[in-house]
Amino acid sequence: MKRETKKDVYARYGIEYKGNKLYCEPLKKWLNPMLPIGTNTKVGDAATWSIYHGNETLTPDMFGEKARAVMENVGVSEIKASCPCHCDGCYCDSGFYCYDSTKAVNLQKLILAKMYPEWLERAIMAQIEADSVKQLRIHAAGDFFSESYVDMWKRIAARFDGVIFWTYTKYEYAVNAFNGLDNLSLVPSCTPAGFNFGTCAELLYKYRKLTSMGYRVHICACGTNMEKHCSDCVHGCKAIGKECDYVLFIKHSTRDYKAGVDDPDEFKAVCEIIRNQAN
């Protein structure tokens, strides 16, 4: 029996694939596969999906040449970005996210998600199967901008129940949207003590407040150890709803891995909590 190739897999989903490129019929152009793999140090060897972040209405004059061309090529004069807010010091405002090329890619994916979701869903499913993806972080950048977009990811996760998905959200309607999908963990970015990230001092305050309210809380080791990757974590995000209610993160950026380490004693206290966590 002939071995099925990546081209064959994509063809089953109605997408032409050639030379590690796929033809996007709606945009009339060849694109890279939708899910980069092994390009995000924090995530490790998992695949990632990103769309343009922030809560702004995006227009061509906000971008450099590459990102501006993405909008002009599809005749889009403005499009709303994907988050309910644009946090001060947002992770996605630093490092390679600032490159015009990265903005162009994430903007193009936002356009696909909003304007051509049927094609996008097929392209993502085809790649998961063709590349034998085992773990996928939804939204290294971006958030669940609509309920229909949430539904797309529910269908994808349900179809590939052997793949581990994890994601984060600031949208209230998305928090419980994936209940019943054992292979998808969603971490709420908003807690009764504020956002789930901050400096070590802020994290200690949030941790103590949340635990005093009876919540089960983990602090992620990201920001303490460059060798710690999401894809090999055995607690925290994967335990949400099972062993814990909230996950807290030390503030970090692509430029400064320990941007939230503001005091040696407070950092030591956070590390001690992490060491003593179960799982």
DSSP 186-254: EEESEETTEESEE-HHHHHHHHHHHHHTT--EEE-STTT-TT--GGG--SGGGGBTTTBSEEEEE---S
Between 89 and 136, the higher pLDDT residue:
136
pLDDT band at 232 (very low <50, low <70, confident <90, very high): low
pLDDT of residue 87: 86
Q: b vs e for 194-219, b when ≥16 Cβ sit within 10 Å of the residue's Cβ?
A: ebbbbbbbbbbebbeebeeeeeebbb
Please report, for the chain, the start and end positions of each structural domain, with discontinuous segments joined by +.
1-188, 189-279
pLDDT band at 93 (very low <50, low <70, confident <90, very high): confident
Quick one: tokens of 177?
């949207």
Average the pLDDT over each of 67-71, 166-170, 239-243 and give the range with the smallest value: 239-243
Euclidean distance between CA atoms 276 and 264, whole angstroms = 19
pLDDT of residue 13: 98
Q: What DSSP state is assigned to residue 122?
A: H
CB 83 within 8 A of CB 195: no
Report pTM. Answer: 0.91
Report pLDDT digits (tens) over 27-44.
999 999 999 997 666 666
Quick one: tokens of 37?
């793999």
Q: Is the pLDDT of residue 278 over 80?
A: no
Euclidean distance between CA atoms 223 and 206, whole angstroms = 17
Q: Is the pLDDT of residue 115 over 90?
A: yes
pLDDT of residue 21: 97
Between 25 and 261, the higher pLDDT residue:
25
pLDDT of residue 263: 83
Average the pLDDT over each of 78-87, 132-141, 227-236 and give the range with the smallest value: 227-236
Q: CA dist 199 to 188, 204, 250, 267, 274, Å?
A: 18, 9, 6, 9, 15
Look at residues 214, 235, 227, 225 and name the one whose alpha carbon lies nearest to residue 267. 225
pLDDT band at 91 (very low <50, low <70, confident <90, very high): confident
Quick one: tokens of 188?
């709420």
pLDDT of residue 257: 62
